[in-house]
Amino acid sequence: MAEAGVVRCAMVMAGGAGTRFWPASRVARPKQLLPLASGRSLLAATMDRLTRAVGAQRTLVVTSAHLEEQVRAELAAWPETAVLSEPVGRNTAPCVGLACVWLQESGVSDDAVLGVFPSDHWIGDDEAFAESVELAYEAAARGGIVTIGIRPTAPETGYGYLRHGPVVQGVAPVLAFLEKPAAPRALELLAGGDVLWNSGMFVFRIGVMLAEIRAHMPHLSEALEAMRPIIRAGLPEPEFRRVYAPLEAQSIDYGVMEHASEVCVVPGSFPWSDVGHWDALPLVAESDHLGNVVQGLVVAEDCRGSVVVNESQRVIAALGLEDMVVVDTGDALLVMPRSRAQEVRRVVERVRELDETLV
């Protein structure tokens, strides 16, 4: 049950670039705006899920200035949702701090509970997600910072991990934040049974988070206080940029949560993926009987375990592919083994040297 009288807010982070989904994902059309796992964007799916799970009195979507128009178009079905645009991206710590002071300046108290959620993740069980979110909001209303962890299903090297203590009534203390491990270390962590994947979702009282920022990121805290009159003035771009642009790009995990006095975790029981690269698409999108994900105008003959996505007007004809990725957007074509999907950034940097408009 929700804590009586406690205001619930939700914040969705929608400013990332999603480089590893190039060429479908571009600076002007990042991963969260793509319909990767269904007929709608990851952002729209996130908003639907949160509307049902949180029951927030206030929902804020934070994005980048160059994406604001597209994000507002995606959010047309959620008229009560506010959109806040950063003049420049500065990672998650400044983004979360900005949301906290913006909500306060909008009339929300220190005791309000704010949940922070990425916009570009896939979740396979909305009911189980809602149960975990409810536990997290209830725990955060009692104090401390609460994160939602995911029970590992494989020795994944692309995720950060949390080591936790005993689970009591669905909540456990976080003992340590662990960096993304190499494969042998990931196997050890999985065998230990006391770790969860770090999902990047967390919940806290606004006053608690701002106090932790003051303690561990004093320069950010000073900048946030300087932003209050700018927020009250409607965030005029020159003043907003003057204060925000010099901020250090820092994650909330590294800047605050690894040092916070009280952090706990709700072990989530729902299927989850951050859909970080093309190799993850078969985990979240519909596959054929041979394990292929085929989207768009494609003829796939005797192909297995491959991803073939066509956004162009010409046909892709694929024969005998095994564990490959082929993505055609009309102006760019990507071909690679699925096993090298994590390396797309290398290609993107080379393409940027040729023509920045292609990234």
String of DSSP letters for 125-192: -HHHHHHHHHHHHHHHHTSSEEEEEE--SS--SSS-EEEE---BTTBEEEEEEEPPPPHHHHHHHHHH
Which single residue is written with the structure tokens 């952090």? 263
Query: pLDDT at position 36, please?
Result: 87
Residue type at 298?
V
- How many helices and strands, by DSSP H and E, does the chain display? 11, 17
Residue 272 CB contacts under 8 Å (≥ 6 apart), including other chains: 121, 122, 123, 124, 150, 197, 199
What's the full length of the chain, in residues?
Answer: 359
CB-based contact 75:152 (threshold 8 Å): no
Taking the alpha carbons at both ends of the chain, their separation in whole angstroms is 46
In whole angstroms, what is the distance from residue 71 CA to residue 1 CA? 32
Q: Average pLDDT of each block of 10 consecutive residues along the chain (359 residues)?
A: 76 88 93 87 94 90 94 88 94 97 96 97 96 97 96 92 96 95 94 94 98 98 98 96 97 95 94 93 93 97 98 97 98 97 94 94
Tokens of 5: 């009288």
CATH ID of 8-273, from 3.40.50.1220, 1.10.1040.10, 3.30.365.10, 3.90.550.10: 3.90.550.10
Tokens of 59: 């929902």
User: What pLDDT shows up at residue 176?
Assistant: 95
Nearest alpha carbon to residue 163 among 196, 117, 126, 204: 196
- Which is nearest to 16 in space by CA: 101, 117, 120? 120
Return the pLDDT at 55.
Answer: 85
Q: Which two tokens stand for residue 121?
A: 């993740």
Give the dihedral of Cα atoms 54, 113, 92, 190; nearest 10 deg. -70
Chain region(s) in the chain for CATH 3.90.550.10: 8-273
Residue 47 to residue 65: CA distance in whole angstroms: 20
3-state secondary structure of 118: strand
- Give bridge partners of residue 234 from the DSSP assignment: none
Distance set, CA 217 to CA 93, 197, 211, 254 (Å)? 9, 25, 10, 10
